[in-house]
């Protein structure tokens, strides 16, 4: 397996492409150095993150280092844009390119070649198919599924067989596509965002029973569900990229009360929750701010009382 216990905490670099706010190249290097100095050795990126800006910045950082593991993604092809908007798909530091979805054999092979060029590295360890089957991205269609199943999966098998990558899988936000494609597409790993958290355990309900049958492990991202499990149920709190609805605010307030009783930060509990499952091999965190990263790392390693988890289970927050 590419990921070991040394990679239990990993760093996602979407923010380094300027997600939600601009990030200067030198500032990206500072936060990457902070992650490295803290012992993080698994880094995740994607062409989508700033139209390749994240890949370029991460590659620049890793080029003179050893002992790292890197994942990137396929599914979007990037082409030059003569008149790019100032903010592209939410990224403020994006390269002047445009993107379109393509999960075919030719597109996946080209995407990997392009990623090698942007990274300036000679190795990609893990390759995820990005955002397939996502209604919000417009890829929850028979057309996109057919692209992957008819030819794209051949590219994944070939890249792994030839040693270009060591592992393949999905990088998605929805459980449904994982359930559907397990057994049809080779999957060593699934990078799943937001679906195994203190607020959303749909992965446990439906996906966990399938994983053992296929030898697939999980990397869990989005542990704060877009922020609310870090900020608490405050005015303007975000849940799954949208303002949190009242029932989510109420549930979060209940979790916060239990954490307060044990004098534990809710963010620390959110960070540590996924790793309690044997299915999870890494918890992915990401930020553009070194201070936030240092705080999250400390909270991930903080010793929490077993009584906290017992109370969260008794309250139905953690479902059996």
Q: Choose, from 20, 27, 49, 102, the residue flagged as catalytic.
A: 49
Q: Is there a catalytic annotation at residue 37?
A: no
Is 217 an annotated catalytic residue?
A: no
The answer to whether 115 and 48 have CB atoms below 8 angstroms apart is no
Pick from 221, 206, 220: which is nearest to 278 by CA?
A: 220
CA atoms within 13 A on the CB side of 207: 29
E strands, the chain, in order: 9-12, 42-44, 69-74, 76-80, 97-101, 126-130, 167-172, 189-193, 217-221, 238-239, 242-243, 280-285
Cβ–Cβ under 8 Å, residues 229 and 270: yes
Are residues 18 and 93 in contact, defined by beta-carbon separation less than 8 angstroms? yes
- State yes or no: is 44 an active-site residue: yes
In whole angstroms, what is the distance from residue 75 CA to residue 152 CA?
A: 9
Distance CA 178, CA 217 (A): 12
- Quick one: CA dihedral 306, 307, 309, 314, positive or negative? positive
Picking from 213, 210, 240, the residue whose alpha carbon sits closest to that of residue 225 is: 240
Coil, strand, or helix at residue 204? helix
Catalytic residue among 42, 73, 102, 128: 73
From the candidates 44, 131, 134, 188, which is the catalytic residue?
44
292 close to 12: Cβ distance less than 8 angstroms: no
Catalytic residues: 44, 49, 73
């Amino acid at each position: 397996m590419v990921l070991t216990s040394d990679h239990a905490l990993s760093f996602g670099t979407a923010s380094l492409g300027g997600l939600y706010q601009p990030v200067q190249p030198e500032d990206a290097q500072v936060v990457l150095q902070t992650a490295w100095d803290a012992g993080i050795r698994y880094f995740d990126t994607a062409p989508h993150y700033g139209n390749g800006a994240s890949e370029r910045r991460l590659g620049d950082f890793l080029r003179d280092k050893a002992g790292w593991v890197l994942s990137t993604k396929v599914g979007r092809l990037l082409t030059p844009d003569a008149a790019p908007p100032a903010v592209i798909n939410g990224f403020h530091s994006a390269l002047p390119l445009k993107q379109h979805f393509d999960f075919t054999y030719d597109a996946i092979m080209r995407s990997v070649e392009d990623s090698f060029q942007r990274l300036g590295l000679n190795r990609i360890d893990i390759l995820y198919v990005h955002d397939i089957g996502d209604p919000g991205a417009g890829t929850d269609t028979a057309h996109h599924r057919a692209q992957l199943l008819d030819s794209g999966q051949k590219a994944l098998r070939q890249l792994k067989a030839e040693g270009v990558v060591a592992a393949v899988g999905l990088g998605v936000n929805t459980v449904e596509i994982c359930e559907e494609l397990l057994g049809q597409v080779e999957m060593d790993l699934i990078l799943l965002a937001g679906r195994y958290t203190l607020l959303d355990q749909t992965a446990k309900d439906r996906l966990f029973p399938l994983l053992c049958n296929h030898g697939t492990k999980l990397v869990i991202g989005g542990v704060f569900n877009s922020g609310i499990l870090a900020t608490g149920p405050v005015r303007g709190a975000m849940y799954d990229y949208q303002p949190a609805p009242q029932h989510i605010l109420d549930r979060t307030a209940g979790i916060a009360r239990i954490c307060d009783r044990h004098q534990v930060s809710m963010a620390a509990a959110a960070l540590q929750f996924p790793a309690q499952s044997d299915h999870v091999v890494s918890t992915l965190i990401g930020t553009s701010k070194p201070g936030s990263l240092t705080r999250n790392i400390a909270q991930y390693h903080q010793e929490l009382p077993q009584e906290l988890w017992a109370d969260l289970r008794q309250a139905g927050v953690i479902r059996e």
